[in-house]
Amino acid sequence: MKFTLSKSLEIIERTPGVIYAMLSGLSDEWVTGNEGDNTWNAKEVVAHLIICEKTNWLVRAKIMLSNDANKNLEPIDMATHFELAKNNSLETLLHDFKILREESVAALKNFNLQQDDFIKTAFHPKIFEVNLQQLIATWVTHDLSHLTQISRTMAQQYKSEVGPFAAYLKILK
């Protein structure tokens, strides 16, 4: 599929609602279970999405769209979300993510992006030059990746309960 902003927004706008539908009201065992050492649970994924909403997508887009000579992208803190998850209820995190994403989508739409904007670049500390189209496409794919992660992590909670059916459940492999 070729990139378009409208197709990207189809996913970006829906992610908070999908995650809310998946997680709201579930018992702690579903949302705090993980896949083992050094893995995230569903609640931590939501907290990570909040951190990305605050420090990644729009912050980086603004840098790319700016006329500044220094267009260096800062690395994302990959540990802050653990504290956020620990200190907040899942319902608070879901609400905060929804509000932040609504604000991000509104801001993205207000940029009134033109085709030439999507090739504007900045420098990522590890992968070097990236453009706005790649950033927005990554935003979409990042959301989808974490939806998959949430589903997989939740499925793992019943791994030992499905017995021989595990052979037919790719999500458990």
Interval 48-54 mean pLDDT: 97
DSSP assignment of the chain equals ----HHHHHHHHTTHHHHHHHHHTT--HHHHH--SSTT---HHHHHHHHHHHHHHTHHHHHHHHHS--S--BPPPP-SSHHHHHHHTS-HHHHHHHHHHHHHHHHHHHHHT---GGGGG-EEEETTTEEEEHHHHHHHHHHHHHHHHHHHHHHHHHTTTTTSGGGGGG-GGG-
Q: Higher-confidence residue: 75 or 134?
A: 134
> pLDDT tens, 120-167?
999 998 889 999 999 999 999 999 999 999 999 999 999 999 999 999
User: What is the rounded average pLDDT for all residues in the chain?
Assistant: 96
